[in-house]
Amino acid sequence: MRDISLHILDIVQNSIAAQATIVEIEVCEDKIHDTLTISISDNGSGMDRQMIEKILDPFCTTRTTRKVGLGLPLLKAAAERSGGYIHIDSKLGKGTTVKAVFRISHIDRPPLGRLDRTIVSLIVCNPEIEYIYRHITDKGEFVLDTRDIKRKIEGISITQPEVLKFIGEYIEDGIRKIGGGVIS
Amino acid sequence: MKSLEELEEIRKKTLESVNIRTDRKNTRVVVGMGTCGIAAGARPVLLAFLEEINKRNLNDVIVTQTGCIGVCRLEPIVEVYTPGEEKVTYVKMTPEKVRKIVSDHIVNGQVVKEYTIGAYEEQDK
């Protein structure tokens, strides 16, 4: 994966496969502690202990884990390569949270990439899922909740080109306003 | 500065224009978004479809996704479903190829043979 926004797009695919209806994506740039944390939480089907343990091993592909494949191992490798780690929290029937921490100043940290494009892609492909995107920096917080958008555009689809265009620009603008989008 | 209030205007405009929607059956563009597809560049391909469809005002085209199609080495892969026609699978997609597929195939009904999986496998032999 070329950047972190593509990892996020990829990890959310797991949430979609797990029949999530709400996906929360959080990006937190903490320059003081030199950490960039991303977290993806869903209300999908979740995993049991056994599966959580297996999921990070790309070579352990039993039938149940085949669906998940390389996405998480790739994210783990990217985080660890830049002095970070990943953490997975999951409850069967409740949902899953995947958290990845990167060291901002590490030379091997991938760029954050275009989160606006990741969110727009996710909305287009799965308009029925609600996304809550939260981006935090030391200057402030930007939040986009597709439920708010849908309320405002009642009667038309969120996949209308003008709406998607607006969402992309709104996110780009929001991230810029809080000085986010670390350091590509 | 962008504000959610702008959506009100977009909504009004869209509601006024949406009435021109015809009974034509939808064409479906399905982009492979497995880890393989995303790593190979599925996102720019998906967004290129949106842009092209928007530019040409093709209200009856739906863009959606699927997981890994199973031929990871040929990603990004896109399948085009036109009602009454056989599915067409395009491989090794790029935003440039998207523009040609939209104009030749989706608008004018001519499959872009050289980008299809069949043409690709033929060359590869």
Evaluate whether residue B102 is within a structural domain. yes
Evaluate whether residue B98 is within a structural domain. yes
Evaluate whether residue B115 is within a structural domain. yes
* Chain B residues touching residue A67 (CB < 8 angstroms): 67
Q: What is the dihedral of CA B98, B102, B106, B109, to 10 degrees?
A: -100
Residue B73 DSSP label: G
Question: Residue B57's closest chain A neighbor by CA?
Answer: A161
Q: Do A17 and B7 touch (CB under 8 A)?
A: no
Evaluate whether residue B3 is within a structural domain. no
| pLDDT score recorded for residue A19 | 95
Predicted TM-score (pTM) of this structure: 0.92
pLDDT digit string, tens, across residues B50-81: 999 999 988 889 999 998 888 899 999 999 99
Q: Do B64 and A125 touch (CB under 8 A)?
A: yes
Q: Do A161 and B35 touch (CB under 8 A)?
A: no
Determine the number of helices (DSSP H) and then strands (DSSP E) in chain A.
7, 6
**CB within 8 A of A160, min separation 6: which ones?**
A153, B10, B14
Evaluate whether residue B70 is within a structural domain. yes
ipTM value > 0.85 = yes
Evaluate whether residue B7 is within a structural domain. no
Query: Which residue in A19, A116, A153 has the most chain B C-beta atoms within 10 A of its own C-beta, making it the best mutation to test that interface?
Result: A153
| pLDDT score recorded for residue B63 | 94
Q: For residues B1 and B4, what is the distance between their CA atoms, to the nearest angstrom?
A: 10
- The count of structural domains within chain B is 1
CATH number at residue B113: 3.40.30.10
Touching B: A residues 7-46, CB under 8 Å: 9-10, 13, 17
* Chain A residues touching residue B33 (CB < 8 angstroms): 9, 13, 121, 125
Average confidence (pLDDT) over A99-116: 96
Touching A: B residues 13-52, CB under 8 Å: 13-15, 18, 31, 33-36, 38-39, 43, 46-47, 50
Evaluate whether residue B118 is within a structural domain. yes
Average confidence (pLDDT) over B6-27: 77
Residue A102 has pLDDT above 80, yes or no: yes
Residue A94 has pLDDT above 90, yes or no: yes
Select from A2, A126, A164 the Cβ nearest to the Cβ of B50: A164
Band (pLDDT 50/70/90 cuts) for residue A63 is very low
Tell me the Ramachandran region of residue B15: left when phi exceeds 0, alpha when psi lies from -120 to 50, beta otherwise.
alpha
B63: containing domain: 25-123
Evaluate whether residue B5 is within a structural domain. no
CB of A86 within 8 A of CB of A75?
Answer: yes
User: How many angstroms away from the CA of A98 is the closest CA of chain B?
Assistant: 16
Q: Do B14 and A163 touch (CB under 8 A)?
A: yes
Query: Which residue in B9, B13, B35, B55 has the most chain A C-beta atoms within 10 A of its own C-beta, making it the best mutation to test that interface?
Result: B35
User: How many angstroms away from the CA of B61 is the closest CA of chain A?
Assistant: 11
